Amino acid sequence: MRNGTHPRRLPPAVGWQVLRAEGAAAFRDRCLDRLAQWRRRRSYRLVAAGELKAAVPVLNVLPTPPRPDLGGVQVQFLRRFPEESRPRAVLYPEPGAYRLEVDAAPERRAASFPAAPPGPLDLHDQGFEDVVQQAAERLRSRVVHVEQPVGLPLGSLLRLRRSGLRLVLSLHDFGLFCVRPHLLEHPALAFCHYCRDDARCAACLRRDWPVDDGFQAARRALAARLLAAADAVVYPSDFLRRKYRELLAAPSTGEVIPPAASPATVPPRPAGDVRPGRLRHVAYVGSVKAHKGALLFEELVGRFPELTWSVLGGGDPEILCRLRRRRGVAVRGYYRDGSLPDLLRRRRVDLALLLSIVPESYGLTLDESLSAGVPVIAFDHGAVAARIRELGGGVLVSPEEGIDGVERCLRGILGDPRRAAVPPGVTARLPDVHAAARSWRDLYRRLEGEESGP
């Protein structure tokens, strides 16, 4: 694929699906993100690999292209990457090849390395190892930073570390513990509670992949060795760090560097604007999928016909279409990175629902809701619960209470919205993208110092 020919438009079938399920505004935002991605690619001059001359100390490796529509991992990477010191480089897979992008003054260059990317169950892939080695040698990189190892061959990452490259792992979910990184068990579509029963795990995975009963245990043993061998392991929250220590005996030296939400461009709701009788508009925020609580939300809507409801986020087309047909529900669908606080304020949303039925590793939507002055209801598990206890601005529901607990909580807030008010000054306590980038630069410098030390 020549530089400049990357698709800028949604394929017609996908475009119609988005229009039908998410609406015209979401269709526009997806097209704008496609256009922005095309322009980002065009900003790199495509050259032969031999023409890459810059010395780049750290090679970033992604399991997917850095497209914001692919999820929170890609979004937080795209926020942070421009803040890293130049020169900088990122390697990621495309159909039939890997693309290496190098940002070094006075220009940006990209090169393509032909190789078939590995499958989701592959633990070793020689083509992947060869491409990473070639890219690192070409750029004289001594550190490989893997931004989310899910989808990459864990055994190959371990071999790359043993070849002499220094390895940094950024973990964003439970993907090293399970091929289903959100721990949603199939076909029940319920949280598996960190299942370690090999037969039960295999039965779940076989809904999508041909695995034997020992696959999960073997993969977890390999993941534990990879965590022990890495030079640094970075988590978005202390919750995820603690769980990896419990589940895979991850080293206690892991670091926490929270991702940063884009700041709101409208002022938050005034504190005095939360009074009994004023709560009328409730929004489901984030990806509309079963593990995020979309099915619970669908049931909750029918229990409160007096309220106005919004759905802010893309996801499962079937669920979105059903919600669009419900009276009193407005589906906004997909939104561009950084626009959620503005959407919440402009739509005068009084309360946001973060109903993930599985533990979240961080919760960017919590930051964005609080920065708009909109309180939340969430289940009492994962990093979201820990952060609500720290920051305020939300009410927690026991996961065991399920939808009935959410209903009771919402009725209580309807009687007195002050129970869920966002405390003043909370925005100043949210992570900052510049601080996050400084933490990464400090980590890289420490690794370089260890490399050059006695």
Tens digit of each residue's pLDDT (9 = 90 or more) over 10-23: 677 777 788 889 99
Domain of residue 308, CATH code = 3.40.50.2000
Quick one: pLDDT band at residue 85, thresholds 50, 70, 90?
Answer: confident
- Report the domain count for the chain: 2
Residues 140, 288 within the same domain: no
Residues 61, 178 within the same domain: yes
- Domain limits for position 331: 271-429
Residues 233, 328 within the same domain: no
pLDDT at 1: 37
Task: Reply yes or no on whether the pLDDT at 77 is more than 50.
Answer: yes
pLDDT at 314: 95
Residues 81, 190 within the same domain: yes
Q: What is the 3-state secondary structure (H, E, C) of the chain?
A: CCCCCCCCCCCHHHHHHHHHHHCHHHHHHHHHHHHHHHHHHHCCEECCHHHCCCCCCEEEECCCCCCHHHCHHHHHHHHHHHHCCCCEEEEEEECCEEEEEEEECCEEEEEEEECCCCCCCCCCCHHHHHHHHHHHHHHCCCEEEEECCCCCCHHHHHHHHHCCCEEEEECCCCCCCCCCCCCEECCCCEECCCCCCHHHHHHHHCCCCCCCCCHHHHHHHHHHHHHHHCCEEEECCHHHHHHHHHHHCCCCCCEECCCCCCCCCCCCCCHHHCCCCCCCEEEEECCECHHHCHHHHHHHHCCCCCCEEEEECCECHHHHHHHHCCCCEEECCCCCCCCHHHHHHHCCCCEEEECCCCCCCCCHHHHHHHHCCCCEEEECCHHHHHHHHHHCCEEEECHHHHHHHHHHHHHHHHHCHHHHCCCCCCHHHCCCHHHHHHHHHHHHHHHHHHHHCC
Residues 320, 185 within the same domain: no
Residues 444, 423 within the same domain: no
Task: Find the mean pLDDT for residues 97-106.
Answer: 92
Residues 217, 350 within the same domain: no
Residues 372, 444 within the same domain: no
Average per-residue pLDDT for the chain: 90
Residues 202, 287 within the same domain: no
Quick one: pLDDT band at residue 427, thresholds 50, 70, 90?
Answer: confident
Residue 366 lies in a domain: yes
